[in-house]
Amino acid sequence: MRAGVRTRNESAWLLPNDGTRTNHRLRRDMRRFRDDDEVDLVIVGCGAGGSVLAQRLARAGWRVVAMDAGPFWDPDTDWVSDEAGSHDLYWTDPRVITGDDPVPLGSNNSGRGVGGSMVHYAGYTPRFHPSDFSTLRDDGVGADWPFGYEELRSYYAAIEQELPVAGEYWPWGDPHGYPHRPHPVGGNGELFLRGAERLGIEARVGPVAIANGRFGNRPHCIYRGFCLQGCKVNAKASPLITHIPDALAHGAEVRADAMVTRVGMDERTGRATGVHYVRDGASRFQRAAMVAIAGYSIETPRLLLNSASPRYPDGLCNEFDQVGRYLMVQGAPQTAGRFDAEVRMYKAPPPEVSTEEFYETDPAKDYKRGFAVQTVSPLPITWAEHVAAQGHWGRALRDYMSDYVHWACLGSLCEFLPLGGNRVTLADETDSYGLPVARFAYSQCDNDRALVTAAQHVMEDILTAAGADEVITIRRYAHLVGGARMAKDARHGVVDGTCRAFAVPNLYITDGSVLPTQGSANPALTIMAVAARAADQLISGARGRVG
Ligand SMILES: Cc1cc2nc3c(=O)[nH]c(=O)nc-3n(C[C@H](O)[C@H](O)[C@H](O)COP(=O)(O)OP(=O)(O)OC[C@H]3O[C@@H](n4cnc5c(N)ncnc54)[C@H](O)[C@@H]3O)c2cc1C
Ligand code: SF4
């Protein structure tokens, strides 16, 4: 299997094996294009979606420039194994939040820098279920994708090999195995497995995109629990180490610290001509025959709206008022349980064990769709937020903090539904580039609230069955997707099933914004698989460069 992966993506073998974590020569010697070179493709954002697209098309011989607003990280010098010290990884530019149930933004919601949000994601990489692709048809809620699960199956398998993913055989959705065996389970996961077994709930170990054993020149995980701070070890997958090295080796340029401010358009032909961007304080323009946006669910719609022009007065691709709409976030309550024995939940990747038994619509329930339950293992600062949210302050807060090693914590991902009113628009406030910032309005529906309550009960039951003498729950959100969704036509979405914009024939969107539904699965693997599929279609000429 490994030889097969290497022929498709050599990233893991391009990393150094001398104890350092960055191939400086590859970065120093990468191909560099001039602004007035008309490259085949310029990509906005080097995260989950943008990096996969860059790697695939560079391998196919396309001349690619991939820009990112943030830095080209060096894990040795830029990252610290410290919860407070990882703040630089986040997109902290201002964003305005509103609606009945506003979603807090600005701390760890999304990333900035090469590797995107996956630099500090938790590493859990389940697939979507086949049912996620037709929730409107089958459940009467949500939306239907322009294609079905089977069109993504081979891309899921390919990306799982490239990351690689470790886990037990997965019995839910489309049952499948993983390329790496499951990791050993920490105290938190053991309690989940024990409680679930006592209740007759099936739970499994994995899937995590964390090397279990050596993979190329990447070492195995050392279970120190800092996945959400950027894994200094290089055991956890992120595009910075899984796709960008191979893209560079095949002639792509990664232009870091380059903030794209608008898409350049030929007002006469209606075709994209490149991107305007700011680097080192200078405004520049990169010419390109094709543009792909992969800036994350908030920044992608914002860039489209900020690219308004006389021909597109309401923003690019927004003729039918679809840009920014149907933005989704998963309801993500977390329930912690106290045990007499020490748990030390930090000593493992945070999500390790999960159940997807409650994923699909259960006709016996009064809500549609469902939720997944996973271990989550907050480090002390996050744990303090959890405790403080219960109203504990002063002495009580200190007592809970001192007791940290005795707590286990589970989290749910609830499939909140895509609603047209949950959307990004532009605020009056501007950022340091003088651009209007995103305004994100979010309100839950009754189905969303019912899912959170049901998920909380299941988590409390599991922890109590495992022997917890106290359980506490905090309600929160996770994972933003949608905002420029794919659909069958321009009246219902922004891009078609190949990720091509309906309105602009040489403009693609290849990040989490295109997802029409979100299931109860963490989204990164699906975002990468969708980008890999779009790349294949571009390469095979289904929608070639002349578009
Ligand atoms: C704390 C946390 C934990 C998570 N855990 C998991 C998990 O366990 N499993 C999972 O599947 N998912 C997880 N996720 C979600 C996952 O990381 C994201 O869904 C995924 O990375 C989104 O991919 P993307 O391509 O849409 O955007 P990103 O990966 O965020 O990439 C977007 C990139 O675009 C750049 N960019 C944006 N605007 C511009 C611009 N105008 N000009 C230039 N560059 C720009 C940004 O700097 C960024 O690097 C987690 C996320 C967070 C925040
Ligand atoms: S637990 Fe493993 S994957 Fe996570 S940060 Fe530590 S070494 Fe990296």
481-505 pLDDT, tens digit per residue, is 999 999 999 999 999 999 999 999 9
Q: How far apart are CA 475 and CA 274, in angstroms?
A: 42
pLDDT top residue among 228 and 518: 518
State pLDDT tens for residues 281-325. Answer: 999 999 999 999 999 999 999 999 999 999 999 999 999 999 999
Atom of ligand 1 nearest to the CA of 260: 42
User: 17 lies in a domain?
Assistant: no
Q: Is the pLDDT of residue 106 over 80?
A: no
User: 453 lies in a domain?
Assistant: yes
Q: Which of 118, 253, 437 to mutate to test the pocket of ligand 1 (most atoms within 8 A of CB)?
A: 118
Q: What is the CATH classification number for the domain harbouring 199? A: 3.50.50.60
User: 30 lies in a domain?
Assistant: no
Residue 153 CA to ligand 2 centre (angstroms): 27
User: 73 lies in a domain?
Assistant: yes
Cis peptide before 207 (omega within 30 of 0): yes
**pLDDT cut 70: percent of the chain above it:** 98
At residue 1 the predicted structure's pLDDT band, cuts being 50, 70 and 90, is: low
Q: Whose CA is nearest to atom 53 of ligand 1?
A: 109
Q: What is the pLDDT of residue 345?
A: 93
Q: What is the pLDDT of residue 544?
A: 43
At residue 543 the predicted structure's pLDDT band, cuts being 50, 70 and 90, is: very low
At residue 108 the predicted structure's pLDDT band, cuts being 50, 70 and 90, is: low
Q: How far apart are CA 454 and CA 458, in angstroms?
A: 6
State pLDDT tens for residues 501-533. Answer: 999 999 999 999 999 999 999 999 999 999 999
State pLDDT tens for residues 230-276. Answer: 899 999 999 999 999 999 999 999 999 999 999 999 999 999 999 99
User: 25 lies in a domain?
Assistant: no
Q: Is the pLDDT of residue 2 over 70?
A: no
Atom of ligand 1 nearest to the CA of 115: 49
User: 24 lies in a domain?
Assistant: no
- Mean pLDDT over 91-100 rounds to 88
User: 23 lies in a domain?
Assistant: no
Beta strands in 397-451 (DSSP E): 407-414, 423-430, 436-441
Nearest one of 438, 442, 483 to 327, comparing CA atoms? 483
At residue 84 the predicted structure's pLDDT band, cuts being 50, 70 and 90, is: confident
Ligand 1 pocket by Cβ (under 6 Å) = 44-50, 67-70, 108-113, 116-118, 120-125, 228, 259-260, 294-296, 299, 303, 351, 479, 511-512, 522-525, 527
Residue 130 CA to ligand 1 centre (angstroms): 24
Q: Is the pLDDT of residue 455 over 80?
A: yes
User: 200 lies in a domain?
Assistant: yes
At residue 81 the predicted structure's pLDDT band, cuts being 50, 70 and 90, is: confident
349, 226 Cβ separation under 8 angstroms: no
Q: How far apart are the first and last CA of the chain?
A: 36
Atom of ligand 1 nearest to the CA of 118: 17
Q: What domain range includes position 529?
A: 2-11+35-541
**pLDDT cut 90: percent of the chain above it:** 87
Q: Is the pLDDT of residue 353 over 80?
A: yes
What is the domain count for the chain? 1
Q: Residue with structure tokens 């839910």?
A: 172
